[in-house]
Amino acid sequence: MKEPPIGVTLGDPAGIGPQVIAKMFAEPGFHEESRAVVIGDQKILERAVRLLRLPLRVNAVSEPGEGVYEPGVVDLVPASELPEDLPFGELDGRAGAAAYEYVRRAVELAQNGEIKAIATAPLNKEALHRAGLKYPGHTEILADLTSTKDYAMMVVAEELRVIHVSTHVSLAVAIDRVRRERELIVIRLAHGALRKIGVEEPRIAVAGLNPHAGENRLFGDEDAEHIAPAVRDAREEGIDASGPWSADTILMRAQRGEFDMVVVQYHDQGHIPVKLMGFDTGVNVTVGLPFFRTSVDHGTAFDIAGTGKADHGSLKAALELARKLSQPESEEGGAG
């Protein structure tokens, strides 16, 4: 009996998601490497296939087990339906609502065991809000749909892995979320995720919040009062964690191989270096869910939607990481 496929959500249908998905499925040898099913809108994906002039057929199925998974075919589980003339590159509440529905259906399939992981194309936060869905992004939607309390966003590039204490919140709120309990949760999530991808003895560095990690409280108390105690707690649990380290050097040290992952304190502290190092191949991972979810590390790119110029490298990397994370532990060298 074949393993369930990876579910790929279409993303915001007015953005580049449908096009990068079509490009990925059209790659020679794709079906030999990956078993994947799209969750989305058949007409919107077919529009992308026509736009790119690709030799693909979209095969709508009621459930992933009915897919053919053959070259030249994109198996798709329908979720929501939009007009075929939905404008490219424009904010639209209908598109936001549809993007949410693709994710909701994918979660349902994952929880039923019909797909083994989810890889998501980008959605647009403002389009979500126009649809009345007040989520900051994918991570929060997934946590809500699965009733997950302890979760975090990890970003993986070729030479650097980071995991965030907070992500899509204001800097003021991010500072307020630097608390001992949250720091320890994220360190634990980092350790577990690294073990899952085959790192047997993870080395986790924790970046400081303030310049020079507070410089012995000269530049703030958060590092000494919350981050350092959490690192000690983690070490007492047997986790190889260290810090807080000055954020202006620790990411470079990790990139050179001293550490396997860096716990960063807020969105830009982690995203800026990762995007500088691997914009086309960076992958977001939501850890702590009942299943693994990976995503491209770019947005809906409305400025090039409908032009066919979007690169599918990040989506391909996201699918490959989802496949690796969802492999049975016996096939991953015993990591767990």
pLDDT tens over the chain, length 336 residues: 588 999 999 999 999 999 999 999 999 999 888 899 999 999 999 999 999 999 999 999 999 999 999 999 999 999 999 998 999 999 999 999 999 999 999 999 999 999 999 999 999 999 999 999 999 889 899 999 999 999 999 998 888 999 999 998 999 999 999 999 999 999 999 999 899 888 999 999 999 999 999 898 989 999 999 999 999 999 999 999 999 999 999 999 999 999 999 999 999 999 898 888 765 667 889 999 999 999 987 899 999 999 999 999 989 999 999 998 887 653 443 332
Considering the domain architecture, whether residues 40 and 141 belong to the same structural domain is answered as yes
Considering the domain architecture, whether residues 186 and 282 belong to the same structural domain is answered as yes
CA distance 29 to 317: 15
Considering the domain architecture, whether residues 3 and 18 belong to the same structural domain is answered as yes
Across 185-260, where does the E strand assignment appear?
Answer: 203-207, 240-245
What is the tens place of the pLDDT at every residue in 149-196? Answer: 999 999 988 889 999 999 989 999 999 999 999 999 999 999 998 998
Who's near 228: CB < 8 A, 6+ residues apart? 243, 244
Considering the domain architecture, whether residues 254 and 335 belong to the same structural domain is answered as no
Structural domain that includes position 29: 1-148+289-336
What is the tens place of the pLDDT at every residue in 106-162? Answer: 999 999 999 999 999 999 999 999 999 999 889 899 999 999 999 999 998 888 999
> Domain holding 72: CATH number?
3.40.718.10
Please state the domain count of the chain: 2
Considering the domain architecture, whether residues 274 and 320 belong to the same structural domain is answered as no
Considering the domain architecture, whether residues 275 and 320 belong to the same structural domain is answered as no
Considering the domain architecture, whether residues 9 and 139 belong to the same structural domain is answered as yes
Last residue of a domain, one of 265, 286, 307: 286
pLDDT of residue 335: 31
Considering the domain architecture, whether residues 92 and 226 belong to the same structural domain is answered as no
Considering the domain architecture, whether residues 103 and 156 belong to the same structural domain is answered as no
Confidence (pTM): 0.85
Last residue of a domain, one of 286, 306, 323: 286
Considering the domain architecture, whether residues 78 and 101 belong to the same structural domain is answered as yes
Considering the domain architecture, whether residues 171 and 256 belong to the same structural domain is answered as yes
State how far the alpha carbon of 68 is from the alpha carbons of 151, 243, 273, 303, in Å.
34, 50, 40, 34
Considering the domain architecture, whether residues 87 and 137 belong to the same structural domain is answered as yes
